[in-house]
């Protein structure tokens, strides 16, 4: 289920409109941060506090893009954490506190990675003193709040998005099961009706009622047919064609002189002389013309 949810999420991300809107929002945030830093450094430059080159907007924008790229990489990891939590139906206060501390951990990790990257790209030598006394405090002050808010908002949006998606998938599963149950019920009703289906055969001056599912096979006998059951056989003054048109599966015509109830077959052979052996040990040969029909009937079932 979780794989389906995550796969659907990334499939939705491939939608050009979603990607465009998401990209515009993220780039707007990054540009705003770069512009804010630009005006701040420009103000300091006027008093000669900093070097003029440090206030260049595109240089600042490049730095912001680099830092938000690290944020994005960690955010992908956070997505996998979120989708594991979606299966929980009831969230407690402890769950919310745990999520908050997870986000705090991601923010701290984010700032540590940014501090390391920026220190490596700077003119400073890489020492723990420079990292913990200079870069880490600076980026905690500059980035912790906005990263914390962005992670919290993104977490909440994705969490409830995944929950909604999970609910939709469950509804689809229920609908599928409902459809399968309706189909099964329909088949059971058909089988139930078949149990009560009968034919009446004139025997002398009387009529014999024979349940269809008790018939083993029907044999052509000149202009009549012989209906074979387990106990008795009855002669009816009807052509075999009439029974073929009236009966559906599991009754199949296997020869020009025979219709067989396939539910009464205990063995089948497709050798040089294809034949069926019924439960009462009656052997009925299959004609070459009907061999394909019989094979098609058995191909509906899985072989072992």
Residues in Cβ contact with 268 at an 8 Å cutoff, skipping those fewer than 6 apart? 274, 275, 276, 277, 294, 298
Provide the sign of the torsion angle of the four alpha carbons 166, 172, 178, 181, taken in this order.
Answer: negative
Average pLDDT over residues 291-295: 88
Tens of pLDDT, residue by residue over 97-145, are: 888 888 888 889 988 998 888 888 888 888 888 888 888 887 887 778 8
Domain span holding position 148: 2-187
Q: Are residues 253 and 149 in the same domain?
A: no
Within its chain, how far is the Cα of 187 from the centroid?
27
The answer to whether position 244 is within a domain reads yes
State the CATH number of the domain containing residue 229. 2.40.50.1020
Nearest to 275 by CA among 304, 255, 257, 256: 255
The answer to whether position 269 is within a domain reads yes
Q: Are residues 6 and 53 in the same domain?
A: yes
Q: Are residues 213 and 266 in the same domain?
A: yes
Within its chain, how far is the Cα of 213 from the centroid?
41
Q: Is the pLDDT of residue 9 over 60?
A: no
Are 135 and 121 contacting, i.e. CB atoms less than 8 angstroms apart?
Answer: no
Average pLDDT over residues 207-233: 86
Residue 40 is predicted with a pLDDT of 53
Q: Is the pLDDT of residue 20 over 50?
A: yes
Q: Are residues 80 and 171 in the same domain?
A: yes
Q: Are residues 21 and 68 in the same domain?
A: yes
Main-chain dihedrals φ then ψ at residue 27, nearest 5 degrees = -65, -35
Q: Are residues 30 and 128 in the same domain?
A: yes
Are 83 and 5 contacting, i.e. CB atoms less than 8 angstroms apart?
Answer: yes
Q: Considering 162, 187, 212, which residue would you say is the last residue of a domain?
A: 187
The answer to whether position 193 is within a domain reads no
Task: Quote the DSSP letter at residue 213.
Answer: G
Nearest to 83 by CA among 173, 170, 160: 160
Q: Are residues 23 and 106 in the same domain?
A: yes
Nearest to 209 by CA among 194, 226, 196, 222: 196
- Domain count of the chain? 2
Pick 253 or 89 by higher pLDDT. 253
The answer to whether position 232 is within a domain reads yes
Q: Are residues 154 and 245 in the same domain?
A: no
- Calculate the average pLDDT of the chain: 76
Residue 71 is predicted with a pLDDT of 82
Packing angle, helices 16-46 and 136-195, rounded to 10? 170
Residue 276 is predicted with a pLDDT of 92
């Amino acid at each position: 289920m979780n794989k389906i949810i995550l796969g659907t999420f990334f499939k939705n991300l491939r939608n050009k409109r979603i990607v465009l809107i998401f990209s515009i929002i993220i780039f707007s945030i990054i540009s705003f941060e770069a512009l804010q830093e630009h005006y701040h450094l420009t103000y300091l430059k006027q008093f000669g506090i900093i070097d003029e080159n440090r206030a260049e907007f595109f240089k600042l924008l490049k730095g912001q893009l680099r830092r938000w790229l690290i944020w994005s990489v960690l955010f992908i990891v956070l997505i996998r954490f979120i989708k594991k939590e979606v299966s929980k139906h009831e969230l407690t206060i402890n769950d919310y506190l745990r999520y908050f501390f997870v986000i705090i951990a991601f923010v701290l990790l984010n700032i540590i990675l940014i501090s390391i990257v920026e220190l490596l790209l700077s003119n400073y030598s890489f020492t723990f003193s420079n990292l913990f006394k200079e870069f880490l405090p600076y980026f905690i002050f500059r980035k912790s709040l906005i990263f914390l808010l962005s992670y919290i908002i993104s977490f909440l949006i994705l969490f409830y998005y995944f929950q909604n998606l999970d609910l939709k998938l469950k509804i689809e599963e229920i609908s599928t099961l409902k459809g399968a149950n309706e189909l099964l019920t329909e088949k059971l009703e058909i089988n139930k009706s078949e149990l009560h289906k009968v034919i009446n055969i004139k025997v002398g001056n009387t009529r014999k009622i024979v349940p269809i599912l008790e018939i083993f096979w029907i044999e052509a006998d000149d202009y009549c047919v012989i209906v074979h059951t387990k106990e008795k056989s009855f002669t009816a003054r009807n052509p075999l064609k009439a029974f073929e048109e009236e009966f559906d599966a599991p009754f199949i015509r296997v020869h020009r002189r025979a219709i067989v109830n396939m539910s009464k077959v205990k063995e089948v052979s497709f050798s040089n002389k294809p034949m069926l052996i019924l439960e009462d040990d009656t052997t009925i040969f299959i004609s070459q013309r009907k061999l394909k029909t019989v094979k098609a009937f058995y191909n509906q079932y899985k072989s072992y």
